[in-house]
Structure 1
Amino acid sequence: MKADMERRGFLVGIGALALVPGLASAAQGQARPVPEGAFRLERVLTRGLADGKSIVVTRHWGVAFEKTGPGALRITGKQTFAHVDAPASLQAISRIEARRDESDLFPLDLDAQGLIVVADRQGPVAPLPDSVLAEAISYAKARSAGENVTASSRQFLADLSQRGLDWMTGLPRDLFYPAPRDRRAEREIVLADGMAGTVAMREHVQADTASGLMTRYYREATTKTETMSRTGSETWSLAREVL
């Protein structure tokens, strides 16, 4: 998972430092309180399929916070639950995915701004949906050039869908201390075969007003044409464990 963060560094590099909660207090030398107790981190990843069905992967981790330096925190954790809901034809793959242990997501270190520390350090927050959208369309157009318009259109849609999935599976650096926001971007597209459609991306982020900790981090990517509609989404949530 950490390797995935580094491979997808270009997708976590756009944003503004002013959007990150806790930055002002860090600049003033005020240390962020260490969240006490055990927390449950949940991630629900939904990937739409061409036939209208979907694959839903749900994972839980038990996590805890500890102080590692002035304003810096470390999050330790272990996967406690995994479930995959998928069509019957994909049950074999589903069982493999459900058995996969992603405890190696942790430990994660947070800097004084509450951002996940990564090797490339290319930016403070998850990218804006319109930035991801522009990059995805540009990439798909470059890959789909060809004389066969039908094949080019299919390639374009496949690449566009994959780029949306890449955005959702990259771990946001501001996952644990995000700025609350609701941002969306939508563009009309015209395929090589003349078919029209739309592609849209949304990011809806909520945080606890008292602690600044993330409560819900939702991202969605949708591609629609006259003949198909495919939506993928990712929802992170963080809550105290109830003993």
Structure 2
Amino acid sequence: MGIPALALFSGSPLWARSGIQIPEGPMRLTRRLERGLKDGVSIVVNRTWRIDFAREERGASITGRQLSATVDAPKKLAALARIEETRPTDDMWPIHLSGDGRIVAAGKYTREEDFAAAVREAETMIAQRSYPAEVKERHRQYLAQLHNAAGSLLDDLPPDLFFPQSEQRETRRPVDLPGGLRGEFVMNFTARRAAGHPWLAEAERSIVTRIADDERHSSDRWTLAQT
């Protein structure tokens, strides 16, 4: 079930105390998502939306309409690329923001990035599988599982995406693997606000999964500008 719209803003003290301004008129939001695959190749998804901000009693809401979607992928994934290009994104809207601009609800549900859940998922997947004893092959298989688990972290929007609370932050989480191996998730988030305004200009989030010297990368980059 979707989240019901909140009452329209009418001089709310909560919003007034926050001091946050919202953009007037339509804005263009873009996202470039890159997911690393094995053998150094990747799949890149570019999407563009027209979005509108509206004040609400407890903050603000954002509605959106996708304008375009393109996918760059290896030829062997052409069928997957076509599916991704035609996949609708209507269910991510509306997005509701708190008085300080943080995302409190997006589409049908809200779930902030949860490194602990991703770590548990990776450890469970690996524990349920048996891998060849050869060290390099074990590294490769474990890394693939870590990378799959980490990919879910990019499915959620950064809570402060539209009104960045900090310019840069890093989160690290170790992963315990069989045979005494150690893995690691590393997430970096950097953001820049629009000149003279509190809302987003551009942001980038990167995730690295690493075992010893082996690692894989995924990232997404967001921009927000007037149409």
TM-score, normalised on structure 2? 0.75
- 1:1-243 equivalent positions in 2, closer than 5 A: 29=17, 31-69=19-57, 72-118=59-105, 127=113, 132=115, 135-145=117-127, 148-150=130-132, 156-186=142-172, 191-192=177-178, 199-208=185-194, 210-225=196-211, 228-241=214-227
Secondary structure, aligned partner of 2:56: strand
Deviates more, 1:113-122 or 1:43-52: 113-122
User: Which 4+ runs in 1 deviate beyond 6 A?
Assistant: 119-122, 187-190, 194-197
Measured in 1, the distance between the counterparts of 2:78 and 2:150 equals 24
The alpha carbon displacement at 1:65 in A equals 1.4
State whether residues 179 and 206 of structure 1, in contact with CA within 8 Å, keep that contact through their aligned partners in structure 2: no
Q: What is the root-mean-square deviation of aligned Cα atoms in Å?
A: 3.3
Higher relative contact order (CA 8 A, sep 6+): 1
The alpha carbon displacement at 1:88 in A equals 0.3
State whether residues 200 and 223 of structure 1, in contact with CA within 8 Å, keep that contact through their aligned partners in structure 2: yes
- Give the partner amino acid of 1:236: W
Describe the superposition over 1:45-80 as per-residue Cα deviations: whole angstroms up to 9, x where unpaired. Answer: 1111112100000100001112233x6222121000
Structure 1: segments with no counterpart, 5+ residues: 4-24
State whether residues 22 and 199 of structure 2, in contact with CA within 8 Å, keep that contact through their aligned partners in structure 1: no
Measured in 2, the distance between the counterparts of 1:160 and 1:100 equals 26
TM-score, normalised on structure 1? 0.71
Structure 2: segments with no counterpart, 5+ residues: 4-12
Measured in 1, the distance between the counterparts of 2:19 and 2:171 equals 36
Secondary structure, aligned partner of 2:17: coil
Deviates more, 1:31-40 or 1:152-161: 152-161
Count residues with an aligned counterpart.
211
